[in-house]
Chains A and B, each alone.
Chain A
Amino acid sequence: MTLFKSLGLAAALSMSAAVVSADGHDPLSVGFIYVGPVGDYGWSYQHDQGRLAVEEHFGDAVETSFVESVPEGDSERVIRRMAQEGADLIFTTSFGYMTPTNRVAAQFPDTYFEHATGYQRADNVSTYSGRFYEGRTVQGILAGHMTESNIIGYIASFPIPEVIRGINAAYLAAKEVNPDVEFRIVWVSTWFDPGKEADAANTLIEQGADVIMQHTDSTAPMTIAEATWEGLAEGETGVYAFGQASDMMEFGPTARLSSIIDDWAPYYIERVQAALDGTWESEDAWHGLDEGMTSIGAFNANIPADVRKEAMDAAIQISGGTRHSFTGPINWQNGEVWLEEGETADDGTLLGMNRYVEGIEGTVPN
């Protein structure tokens, strides 16, 4: 049970019982704040995997602690508490922690803060996030090839740039390999509500989708897709889905085509190392397949070899810098030209993306 693993180390953080590492220095104290339970098998789970990797990598040189299920509206106290307890480096892992993180950081200039997915920085506040849209491109290729109904269902959370980017990237890739493909997008206005996500998946399946993508945190859509495979005759296929944030293999052994895995471990290790070395500086990290913050989970055995190769190649090209998820010609939904032939998107546009590309039907809420 992951919940209790860090007990000994976490306990050391509190009170005065400072553990001293082998070389005589105080260990670096690293705190993590999660928005969900570490057992969500999605977003928070992956961050906790990153924390465990830090412990594994640095051993006695660090001690880590975490608080799970911290409501965003009530997070400033927890962040402050961590800083007050002497944490040297604090990772706050939800967008809603942005303002509280910056407020606390202003009062603790000697503590380093790392805020995931936000855009506000300070001298002691870095931001970091993954270029998950790169993974969406790979998913789009797989989905475009594997769909038979040519309808792909997409469960989206909130109309923020990150989510819209993912939809656009997946759509462009799917359209390229399968010009007949059509996206059905459902906004559920939540990051985590298994019941609602399950209903959304069912709705999309009823409307003909045979591949489901999700940008929400629960494993419910995967479970629903898996259920469509039960009792099928030889040669029939059910609905496919993709793991989101974590691999989700155990939830859809048949249905899962692949997954986007948020692998925070390399970044966390890098930043902890920087803090240990005294070279930590505020920066804005936006890492993708290349740096390994976004990684692609194993492919389903049902994927034909040529499709597999095509998707693999795309992943390799993206991480090698020879392919970009958004390469022209691309128009916006209203026909306005965005990128000319061969032109690639700049990060500024990507970070502020608030509309669909041409070909996607429907409107972005608000």
Chain B
Amino acid sequence: MLRLEPRRSPSQAMVWLTPILAVLATMIAGGGLFMALGKDPVDAIYTIFVDPLLDPYSLPEIFVKAAPLILIAIGLSYGFRAGIWNIGAEGQFIMGAIAGAAVGLAFYGTAGVWLLPLMALAGIVAGYLWAMIPALLRVKFGTNEILVSLMLVYVADQFLRAMVNGPLRNPQGFNFPESRLFHDSAQLPILFDGTRVHLGVAIAVIIALIAALILSRHIIGYNVRLMGSAPRAAMFSGVKPPRMVIFCLGLSGALAGLAGLFEAAGPMGQLTPTLPQGYGFTAIIVAFLGRLNPLGIIAAGFVMALTYIGGENAQLALGLPKAAISVFQGMLLFFLLGLDIFVRYRIAPKRREVA
């Protein structure tokens, strides 16, 4: 019999090895799935995992897709480390997009370099405020922030519907529930011609790098880590839990709101009810896949985006149904999450007491 035994310190080898093992395991299981569907497994896996990286068109798209995931996951990771669970980033994302879009639409037609920063600020503030609801409820009443933040996702989603049906609806849009297109000053500039890589992508990566620096070098980062690993010690060393709750939820809300604005003012160019794509939820997975480490999150965000882009390519090129892609992604996540245990535990033969 085998048992799991905690390692004295996390295995550095496993930190690198488990993701590779997980991807290999997914390739085998996914290959079986594709074979069962009558496709060439090697071809399918190549199309999903390798082809997008070589193809000059898909590569920038991976960046575009990964940016909001990374941005949100970075914010979440601080809270998750400190044991503060914001799973309502999707709602903060939506509120950020609505607020930013409202600003952009209020100044419709007004040219000016100040407009985008103002929209970004509105997005950040809206996301922050939306996250303050669970934060303050937890601080004041001890209400579970997991559940409050989750409930607020649905409220935000309904609010978005109401907004695009009402105040923010395109007056020339024949009643279709969506806003007008933002004018040029309210759209994020494109970094590379011919692609959709917008300014928000660069900002997301920069923010991730800053987050990595703060976590490892700054006292805030130290406190966050301490509160997660040893809450009592953290209290003795002067960390105030309520402040930490407000800081962590506020940070994740602000970043999610910013990501929402980036999505609206970037790839979408308008506010529509189809804006929320579940980035806020996927980012939770990304945060864990990246082991709550900013650099890891960047990597995980790209892997996640890769499977989306590759999956689409596989649909187009091989006629794989969308459902097969989502099963494949599910398997990848299962393996990644499951194998992660070998970082902190190792398999040992079960000790038998001598009778």
Within 8 Å by CB, do A and B touch in the complex? Answer: yes
Chain B contact surface mostly? loop
Other-chain residue from B174, B277, B316, B318 in contact with A71 (beta carbon distance below 8 A): B277
- Residue A11 lies at the interface, judged by CB distance under 8 Å to chain B: yes
Taken together as a complex, chains A and B put the C-alpha atoms of A164 and B175 apart, in Å, by 10
Other-chain residue from A65, A74, A158 in contact with B316 (beta carbon distance below 8 A): A65
Chain A contact surface mostly? helix
Taken together as a complex, chains A and B put the C-alpha atoms of A198 and B181 apart, in Å, by 35
1/0 contact string of A19-48 vs chain B (CB within 8 Å): 000000000000000000100000000000
- Residue A354 lies at the interface, judged by CB distance under 8 Å to chain B: yes
Contact B166–A4 (Cβ < 8 Å) = no
- Residue A84 lies at the interface, judged by CB distance under 8 Å to chain B: yes
Residue of B nearest to A117 (CB): B176
Contact B161–A160 (Cβ < 8 Å) = no
Could you tell me which residues of chain A, from 338 to 363, have a CB within 8 Å of some CB in chain B? Answer: 351-352, 354
1/0 contact string of B266-310 vs chain A (CB within 8 Å): 011110101111000000000000000000000000000000010
Residues of chain A within 8 A (CB-CB) of B274 are 71-74, 96
Residues of chain B within 8 A (CB-CB) of A159 are 175
- Residue B61 lies at the interface, judged by CB distance under 8 Å to chain A: yes
- Residue A269 lies at the interface, judged by CB distance under 8 Å to chain B: no
Contact B165–A365 (Cβ < 8 Å) = yes
Contact A11–B57 (Cβ < 8 Å) = no
Taken together as a complex, chains A and B put the C-alpha atoms of A80 and B316 apart, in Å, by 12
Contact B316–A10 (Cβ < 8 Å) = yes
Residues of B within 8 A of A (CB): 38, 47, 57-58, 61, 64-65, 161, 165-166, 169, 174-178, 181, 194, 196, 267-270, 272, 274-277, 309, 312-313, 315-319, 321-322
Contact A76–B267 (Cβ < 8 Å) = yes
Contact A103–B315 (Cβ < 8 Å) = no
Residues of chain B within 8 A (CB-CB) of A99 are 181, 269-270
Residues of chain A within 8 A (CB-CB) of B317 are 10-11, 13-15
Other-chain residue from A80, A81, A161 in contact with B174 (beta carbon distance below 8 A): A161
Contact B275–A73 (Cβ < 8 Å) = yes
Taken together as a complex, chains A and B put the C-alpha atoms of A37 and B38 apart, in Å, by 19
Contact A81–B313 (Cβ < 8 Å) = yes
Residue of A nearest to B64 (CB): A77
Closest 10 CB pairs of A and B: A14-B317, A73-B274, A72-B274, A7-B319, A10-B319, A84-B57, A69-B322, A67-B315, A160-B175, A73-B275
Residues of chain A within 8 A (CB-CB) of B181 are 99
Residues of chain A within 8 A (CB-CB) of B65 are 77
- Residue A279 lies at the interface, judged by CB distance under 8 Å to chain B: no
Q: Closest CB of chain B to A122's CB: distance in Å?
A: 14
Q: A4 and B270 in contact (CB under 8 A), knowing A67-B312, A81-B58?
A: no
- Residue A119 lies at the interface, judged by CB distance under 8 Å to chain B: yes
Contact B277–A96 (Cβ < 8 Å) = no
Taken together as a complex, chains A and B put the C-alpha atoms of A354 and B169 apart, in Å, by 14
Q: A14 and B313 in contact (CB under 8 A), knowing A68-B321, A351-B174?
A: yes
Contact B312–A78 (Cβ < 8 Å) = yes
Could you tell me which residues of chain A, from 142 to 179, have a CB within 8 Å of some CB in chain B? Answer: 158-161, 164
Residues of chain A within 8 A (CB-CB) of B319 are 3-4, 6-7, 10-11, 65
Residues of chain B within 8 A (CB-CB) of A125 are none
Contact B174–A354 (Cβ < 8 Å) = yes
- Residue A107 lies at the interface, judged by CB distance under 8 Å to chain B: yes
Could you tell me which residues of chain A, from 97 to 143, have a CB within 8 Å of some CB in chain B? Answer: 99, 103, 107, 119
Q: Closest CB of chain B to A113's CB: distance in Å?
A: 16
Taken together as a complex, chains A and B put the C-alpha atoms of A203 and B273 apart, in Å, by 26
Residues of chain A within 8 A (CB-CB) of B47 are 14
Taken together as a complex, chains A and B put the C-alpha atoms of A351 and B176 apart, in Å, by 12
Other-chain residue from A73, A81, A82, A366 in contact with B175 (beta carbon distance below 8 A): A366
Residues of chain A within 8 A (CB-CB) of B177 are 158, 160
Q: A95 and B176 in contact (CB under 8 A), knowing A7-B319, A77-B196, A107-B194?
A: yes
Taken together as a complex, chains A and B put the C-alpha atoms of A68 and B177 apart, in Å, by 23
Contact B174–A77 (Cβ < 8 Å) = no
Could you tell me which residues of chain A, from 60 to 94, have a CB within 8 Å of some CB in chain B? Answer: 65, 67-69, 71-74, 76-78, 80-82, 84-85
- Residue A189 lies at the interface, judged by CB distance under 8 Å to chain B: yes
Contact A160–B176 (Cβ < 8 Å) = yes
Residues of chain A within 8 A (CB-CB) of B313 are 14, 81
Taken together as a complex, chains A and B put the C-alpha atoms of A346 and B68 apart, in Å, by 46
Residues of chain A within 8 A (CB-CB) of B309 are 77
What would be 23 A-B contacts, judged by CB atoms less than 8 Å apart?
A4-B38, A4-B319, A7-B318, A10-B319, A11-B317, A11-B318, A14-B317, A37-B321, A67-B316, A68-B322, A69-B322, A71-B274, A71-B277, A73-B274, A73-B277, A74-B277, A76-B196, A81-B313, A82-B316, A96-B272, A99-B270, A158-B177, A164-B175
Contact A81–B57 (Cβ < 8 Å) = yes
Contact A160–B174 (Cβ < 8 Å) = yes
Taken together as a complex, chains A and B put the C-alpha atoms of A14 and B43 apart, in Å, by 12
Q: Closest CB of chain A to B229's CB: distance in Å?
A: 38
Residues of chain B within 8 A (CB-CB) of A3 are 319, 321
Residues of chain A within 8 A (CB-CB) of B270 are 99
Q: A77 and B315 in contact (CB under 8 A), knowing A68-B322, A95-B176, A354-B175?
A: no
Residues of chain B within 8 A (CB-CB) of A164 are 175
Taken together as a complex, chains A and B put the C-alpha atoms of A352 and B172 apart, in Å, by 10
Other-chain residue from A6, A72, A81, A96 in contact with B312 (beta carbon distance below 8 A): A81
Contact B194–A81 (Cβ < 8 Å) = no
Q: A73 and B268 in contact (CB under 8 A), knowing A84-B57, A99-B181?
A: yes
Residues of chain A within 8 A (CB-CB) of B316 are 10, 13-14, 65, 67, 78, 81-82, 85
Taken together as a complex, chains A and B put the C-alpha atoms of A95 and B269 apart, in Å, by 16
Residues of chain B within 8 A (CB-CB) of A77 are 61, 64-65, 196, 267, 309, 312
Taken together as a complex, chains A and B put the C-alpha atoms of A107 and B192 apart, in Å, by 14
Q: Closest CB of chain B to A352's CB: distance in Å?
A: 6
